[in-house]
Amino acid sequence: MDIIYNLFFYAIAFVLVIAALSVVFLPRIVYSAVSMILAFISVAGIFVLLNADFVAISQIMIYAVGITIIMIFAIMLTGRVSEKKLWIAFAPRTLFAFAIAGVFFVTILFTVTNGFKSLARESSIFSTTLPSIETIETLQTQGTTGIIGKALFTKYVLPFEILSLLLLAAILGAVVMAKKDRDNLINPTTRLIEED
Amino acid sequence: MNIEVILKIFNVGLTHYLILGAILFCIGILGLIISRNIIRVLMSIEILLCAININFVAFANYNDINNLQGQVFAIFIMAVAAAEAALGLAILLSLYRNKPTVDTEEMKELKG
């Protein structure tokens, strides 16, 4: 295809991999929270390259704003000076993790590069080329929001409702778990204040 | 190897997106196991879900351009990830109230 698409893909992918690695390996947790924002925004760029505008905007709104703010809240609520420097684990666990991730990556790489090509040759289920130009042009002019909305409210209406129940249960559970228990407060002065 | 073969390999297709998703997934698994801070474990879970989303949207673009069911599932996964992050913060706070640390090496109550 055109060279600009390839250039943008490789630039965004490079930034994404660097940001994800710095989430894992930066020594201070606040820096990795900030680089997590960069990783999520580059994932949104990947979605834009894949003609998915609605998913890209949702990615920025939910991940790069919402979840990052939740993480920064977690950092600030549990912060302590002596624990700001907690980094990676000790040697056996780290070696085990590198081995697991390496084996996993080699397996997926082998499957993707060989398996999909042979599968596409035999069954033509997975076409590894882009669809026609006209389809992409109509998608880019009309947007994907209409198609996603129709699918959400006709074919996937039951998972959608179950998902709303899940969100309600998650909000209630988070409030119940994070609420302070009134009966066994640790500090006796606050109990005295509350009795007054 | 002549120049056309190299250009054909580096031309972006479905395979490149799947390899990018695989790299991101492996970074997430690595961070899930090796990090000593619980908050970084939660961040690694979010990176795992992002990798899954890239695969879903790539398959929706290259194989299912008329229905876009992969993008619908990406929206579902985002909602589940938001619920998971909120619950993770709540569990983290109640753990921190019982034992004021975020070190994963110190959490040994369930070890038996």
Break chain B into its structural domains and give their ranges.
10-101
What is the mean pLDDT of the segment spanning B69-98?
A: 90
**Predicted model pTM:** 0.85
Reduced to 3 states (helix: H, G, I; strand: E, B; else coil), residue A179 is: coil
- List of chain A residues whose C-beta atoms are within 8 Å of the C-beta of residue B94: 177-178
pLDDT, residue B100, reads 78
Per residue in B11-58, pLDDT tens?
Answer: 788 888 989 999 999 999 999 888 888 888 999 999 999 999 999 999
B9 touches chain A (CB under 8 A): no
Cα-Cα-Cα-Cα torsion A137, A142, A148, A151, nearest 10 degrees, comes to -90
B7 touches chain A (CB under 8 A): no
Candidate from B18, B25, B31 with C-beta closest to A23: B31
pLDDT, residue A61, reads 92
What's the CA gap between A170 and B63, in Å, rounded?
Answer: 34
CB-count burial class (<10 Å; 0-12, 13-18, 19+) for A78? buried
> Is the pLDDT assigned to residue A118 strictly greater than 80?
no
What's the CA gap between A89 and A96, in Å, rounded?
Answer: 11
A144 close to A51: Cβ distance less than 8 angstroms: yes
- Both structure tokens of B37: 């801070």
A177 close to A169: Cβ distance less than 8 angstroms: no
Q: What is the CATH number of domain A1-87?
A: 1.20.120.1200
**Measuring CA to CA, which residue among B74, B30, B67 is closest to residue B52?**
B74
Would you tell me which CATH number, out of the four given (3.10.180.10, 3.10.20.520, 3.20.20.140, 1.10.287.3510), belongs to the domain B10-101? 1.10.287.3510
A42 close to A15: Cβ distance less than 8 angstroms: yes
Q: What is the per-residue DSSP string for A109-121?
A: HHIIIIIHHHHHH
Per residue in A63-114, pLDDT tens?
Answer: 989 899 988 888 888 866 555 566 776 778 888 888 989 998 999 888 887 7
Q: Which residues pair with B103 in a beta bridge?
A: B37
B54 close to B20: Cβ distance less than 8 angstroms: yes
